[in-house]
Chains A and B, each alone.
Chain A
Amino acid sequence: MLMVAPLKRPLAGAVTAATRSTSAHLLLPASCRCFSVLNRPPPNYEGHVPLTKTERLGLALGSGFMSFINPRRGDLIAAFGEATAQPYFINRLRDRMLMHPTGRRILRERPRLTSTSLDIPRLRSLPKNTLGYAYVAWLDAEGVSPDTRAAVRYIDDEECAYVMQRYRECHDFYHALAGLPVFREGEVAVKAFEFMNTGLPMTGLAVFSALTLKKAEWERFWAIYGPWAFRNGARADDMINVYWEKELETDVEELRARLGIEKPPDLRAIRKLERERRRRRREKGAKEKAGSSS
């Protein structure tokens, strides 16, 4: 005991001294400090806006409400995600990345997904069964580009801000893998999937916009896409840990099998079929009416 004790104390003392000096030198995350809007701390990364608790609450409520009314306001949906992810949910997502070897690699290398980093023309030349080709085919079918994601501004921890940005940039890959389209019905299904997979509150709350769906869409969500999303999101591997840039030439089916995702029914095809059926019914009705009146 006498021999161990003096050895232990200097070591423990040295470690705590090192910790104290490190934290003294580096900037503490803004969420740990109390400040007012009149003396915000310096930002932790470019574009960072440290928010007070009241501001964050206001942003969460305001952006949540307004993006529910007008889901086309992508910037508000992004702000809603950032305002509600702290402090627990985004940290948990980042920790899940740290626990996975590919996740750690992504955090170390910090890749960004833009149209320039992806080389879209090259992806079009890939074989039809690859992820890259499926992704570009989906982009073309939906008429969107990868550059439309807003920059993260309201997350205080710099690493968590990157995690949020990565999640946002990978959203299109989740769409492409599932084959779900960009209009409200498809987005709600993808958001439900993301909620079960990432745990971010914004994704879960976005599922409430399913309440604004039309009757047929609502029934389809309850019958097909909702159960698909909840089942697959919970069962699949963490999508945030997929290094998409390195998986572009993988076979899509093999990737789905590895991650544990089933492909849901083609929503566009179902809707087209429904439209055709409705149109034929209307024409038949009109013909019968014309026939009975003459």
Chain B
Amino acid sequence: MNMQASKTLFRRQLLGGLKWRRTAREPYRCFSCSIRHEQEPSPSKFPQDTAGTTHFGYETVDEALKEHKVGAVFSSVASSYDTMNDLMSLGIHRLWKDYFVRNLNPGANPLTSSSDPEKGWNILDIAGGTGDIAFRMLDHASTINNDAHTKVTVADINPDMLAEGKKRALATPYARSPRLKFVEANAEKLDMIPDNSVDLYTVAFGVRNFTHKDVAIREAFRVLKPGGVFACMEFSKVNNPLFDAFYKRWSFGAIPLIGQLVAGDRDSYQYLVESIDRFPSQTEFRDMIQEAGFLVPGQGWEDLTGGIAAIHKGVKPIR
């Protein structure tokens, strides 16, 4: 094998190629970064490499560019989003989302709650484009808590994902009711949401795509009512090292391959698994939530499926 390789190299030297661009000398960011990432100890907070840049998966990009690149990723995955989610998590994402909503228990039962029965909860679901969480919230409030007034505003930065969500809403009873609203917004700048107006702020599998997570968490703090709950479900660090070894190999090997086969887009799913890998650990993220002013109950997070995903909660203090 080595002999053949050196013969090939000799031949290549003799003939020389012109137009095929060579990047062998300069390492391509995505892959070489992964080697560097393994070797260097990860810092306690994820700093930006130089002023004005942030990370896009393992690439370092200008901050202004990250939003555009993430937008491109989600526009490309929007239509096959659910199929891909099912294949990547082997259907477990449905259990996670069900548990997330059940645990939050949205809706005020008019018979048992002390608050005004005509009001219901005002829920803001960020990065919830396709409506997975929003529909579950509304169903839970309506059927389990008999609350017909709880409303959900679905905000997403990507219009393609919102369009997908609106399409799916047509199959639910909330499509043309005042209980469900879709709005195109950047989580870092929720100008259309007044201060202290939201009872529950949820973001499921969206935070890792934000350019400035701390700004988004501060916006969440602003829009929540005192006593309101911030709930975030995101991919996190797996606790068990043996399970982590399998998980990492599944992430970096199988998921881009499934993305190529099902969605015809390897690069978007490569970005996805890299952004999961770059996301802060459970304790780091809990600290970020605390820094924004939230009170964090107990340990601050709850691991799902061994730490593949984690639910972080925070409560805005009542001053």
Docked-complex contact B252 and A38, CB < 8 angstroms? yes
Docked-complex contact A42 and B24, CB < 8 angstroms? yes
- Taking CB atoms, residues of chain B closer than 8 Å to A42 are 23-24, 27-28, 31-32
User: Roughly how many angstroms separate A110 CA and B19 CA in the complex, as a whole number?
Assistant: 6
Chain B: interface secondary structure?
Answer: helix
Docked-complex contact A159 and B264, CB < 8 angstroms? no
Most buried by A among B1, B8, B13: B8
Docked-complex contact B253 and A110, CB < 8 angstroms? no
Tell me the smallest distance from the CB of A51 to a CB of chain B, in Å: 9
- Taking CB atoms, residues of chain B closer than 8 Å to A153 are 266
Docked-complex contact B9 and A162, CB < 8 angstroms? no
- Taking CB atoms, residues of chain A closer than 8 Å to B34 are 38-40
Docked-complex contact A54 and B253, CB < 8 angstroms? yes
Number of A-B contacts (CB under 8 A): 113
Tell me the smallest distance from the CB of A29 to a CB of chain B, in Å: 6
Instruction: Assess whether A130 is interfacial by the CB under 8 Å rule.
Output: no
Docked-complex contact B17 and A158, CB < 8 angstroms? yes
User: Roughly how many angstroms separate A149 CA and B301 CA in the complex, as a whole number?
Assistant: 48
- Taking CB atoms, residues of chain B closer than 8 Å to A27 are 24
Name B112-134 residues within 8 Å CB distance of A: none
- Taking CB atoms, residues of chain B closer than 8 Å to A86 are none
The listed residue (B13, B23, B264, B266) touching A22 by CB distance below 8 A is: B13
Query: 1/0 per residue A87-116: CB within 8 Å of B?
Result: 000000000001000001001111010000
Instruction: Assess whether A43 is interfacial by the CB under 8 Å rule.
Output: yes
Instruction: Assess whether B40 is interfacial by the CB under 8 Å rule.
Output: no
Docked-complex contact A112 and B21, CB < 8 angstroms? no
- Taking CB atoms, residues of chain B closer than 8 Å to A23 are 2, 5-6, 9
Interface size of B in residues (CB-CB distance below 8 Å): 37
Most buried by A among B2, B6, B13: B6
Closest to B273 in A: A37
Query: 1/0 per residue B130-148: CB within 8 Å of A?
Result: 0000000000000000000
User: Roughly how many angstroms separate A217 CA and B180 CA in the complex, as a whole number?
Assistant: 53
Closest to A73 in B: B264
Most buried by B among A36, A45, A112, A161: A45
Docked-complex contact B10 and A45, CB < 8 angstroms? no
Docked-complex contact B31 and A40, CB < 8 angstroms? yes
Docked-complex contact A29 and B5, CB < 8 angstroms? yes
Tell me the smallest distance from the CB of A70 to a CB of chain B, in Å: 11
Instruction: Assess whether B261 is interfacial by the CB under 8 Å rule.
Output: yes
On whether A37 and B252 interact (CB within 8 A), knowing A42-B24, A43-B31, A58-B257, the answer reads yes
Docked-complex contact A46 and B253, CB < 8 angstroms? no
Query: 1/0 per residue B241-277: CB within 8 Å of A?
Result: 0000000110011100100110010100000000000
Interface size of A in residues (CB-CB distance below 8 Å): 48
Docked-complex contact B20 and A161, CB < 8 angstroms? yes
Tell me the smallest distance from the CB of A251 to a CB of chain B, in Å: 30
- Taking CB atoms, residues of chain B closer than 8 Å to A159 are 8, 12, 15, 17, 20
User: Roughly how many angstroms separate A49 CA and B270 CA in the complex, as a whole number?
Assistant: 11
Docked-complex contact A28 and B5, CB < 8 angstroms? yes
Instruction: Assess whether A192 is interfacial by the CB under 8 Å rule.
Output: no
- Taking CB atoms, residues of chain B closer than 8 Å to A26 are 9, 12-13, 24
Docked-complex contact B6 and A38, CB < 8 angstroms? no
Instruction: Assess whether A176 is interfacial by the CB under 8 Å rule.
Output: no
- Taking CB atoms, residues of chain B closer than 8 Å to A49 are 266
- Taking CB atoms, residues of chain B closer than 8 Å to A32 are 1-2, 5
Instruction: Assess whether B68 is interfacial by the CB under 8 Å rule.
Output: no
Instruction: Assess whether B90 is interfacial by the CB under 8 Å rule.
Output: no
Docked-complex contact B13 and A52, CB < 8 angstroms? no
Tell me the smallest distance from the CB of A245 to a CB of chain B, in Å: 13
Closest to A95 in B: B11
By a beta-carbon cutoff of 8 Å, the part of chain A in contact with chain B is 19-20, 22-23, 26-29, 32, 36-46, 48-50, 52, 54-55, 58-59, 62-63, 66, 73, 75-76, 79, 98, 104, 107-110, 112, 153, 157-159, 161-162
Known: A62-B261, A63-B261, A75-B260. 18 other contacts (CB 8 A): A19-B6, A22-B13, A29-B8, A32-B1, A32-B5, A38-B248, A40-B31, A43-B28, A45-B21, A45-B22, A45-B24, A50-B31, A58-B257, A62-B257, A75-B264, A110-B19, A158-B20, A158-B22
